[in-house]
Amino acid sequence: MIPADFNLKIAEIHDDRNRGASELARCCLAILAQAARELPAASGEEWRERLSGLSLELAETRPSMTPLRNLLRCWRNGLAADAAAPLALARQAAAARAEELSERSRRAVIDCARHVAALLGAERTIMTHSFSSTVLASCRLLKEKGLRMIVTESRPLEEGRRLAEQLSVWQVPTVYITEAQMALFVGQADAVLVGADSVLADGSALNKAGTALLALAARERGIPFYVACESFKWRDASDPPPGLEEMDPSELKVPAWPGVTVRNIYFDVTPARLIGAWIDETGVRRNAAQ
């Protein structure tokens, strides 16, 4: 693999609209494992510098997605630790570390889903917004336990379709609605469960735009609102606030009206006080302030 191929891969991560933050972070780790093995370098120092640069570039492709930042920083720190090793060994160690981190993240999602399933229990109607691999993993555990789902389409690219399709395959009775109908349907749910792309140090959750509206509607009806994600999505208090990524306005598929600015911000922030509990691979943390 030559450096130009990595630029292509960086662009793919940047443009990906299908995968969530955890999945994309694991894609980045797979790219880094391959780069660790194959990136040409005259010396160990050059190799480390180039890998370090690549991992920084990858982390910056998706500023709203904290797992890219956290998992890749964790991996990068290991590069320095291996500085004394011969290059061939360092390549193996760095690739193995990327694969281990990826596996840790994958297991974290599964463990998180287990805690979610225990929290929600059987015979429940759960409402969600957009697509989250953690919510999907939770549905998988509850699909034979009387789960019913209410899912939103999630404009503009309608990731909700992907979830509805899988729920259909699993024969989970599902209601599919526009975001506009969220206030009409939230009262029919026993709980709202969403994933997150980032969780800020104060517990506020950055997730697909529309999540904050659903949290407001849930509070209004007294429906508990839960955020489930692996702990790699948590942001340190010292981290700068994540950017809210804005995508191409053409995704809204409207004409170019003069004087009309089409906006397409992908994420919003749900304040911690609207969140009833956070669930990660270590368990359930209830919001003491509620």
Closest CB 212 distance from a second copy, rounded Å: 4
Report if residue 222 touches a second copy, rule: CB under 8 A. Answer: no
Q: Which residues contact 109 (CB under 8 A, 6 or more apart)?
A: 22, 133, 134, 137, 230, 281
Q: Which residues contact 139 (CB under 8 A, 6 or more apart)?
A: 126, 147, 149, 166, 167, 170, 172
| Contact by Cβ (8 Å): 223, 186 | yes
Strands 125-128 and 191-194: parallel
Report if residue 161 touches a second copy, rule: CB under 8 A. Answer: yes
Residues in the chain, total: 290
| Contact by Cβ (8 Å): 196, 205 | yes
Report if residue 259 touches a second copy, rule: CB under 8 A. Answer: yes
Q: Pick from 244, 284, 286, 287: which binds a second copy (CB under 8 A)? A: 244
Residue (108 or 127) nearer to a second copy, CB: 127
Report if residue 70 touches a second copy, rule: CB under 8 A. Answer: no
Asked if the peptide bond before residue 156 counts as cis, ω within 30 degrees of 0, the response is yes
| One character per residue 188-207, x = contact with a second copy (rule: CB under 8 A) | --------------------
Alpha-carbon gap, residue 234 to 73, rounded angstroms:
13
Residue (29 or 209) nearer to a second copy, CB: 209
Closest CB 184 distance from a second copy, rounded Å: 5
Q: Catalytic: 197?
A: yes
Q: Name the catalytic one among 197, 202, 239, 280.
A: 197
Q: Indicate left, alpha or beta for 203 from its phi (over 0: left) and psi (-120 to 50: alpha).
A: left
Residue (23 or 268) nearer to a second copy, CB: 268
Tell me which DSSP letter residue 265 carries: B
For a second copy, the binding residues in 132-151 under the rule CB under 8 A are none
Binding positions for a second copy, rule: CB under 8 A: 153-156, 158, 161, 164-165, 167-168, 171-185, 208-210, 212-213, 216-217, 220, 244, 252, 254-255, 257-265, 268
> What is the set of active-site residues?
197
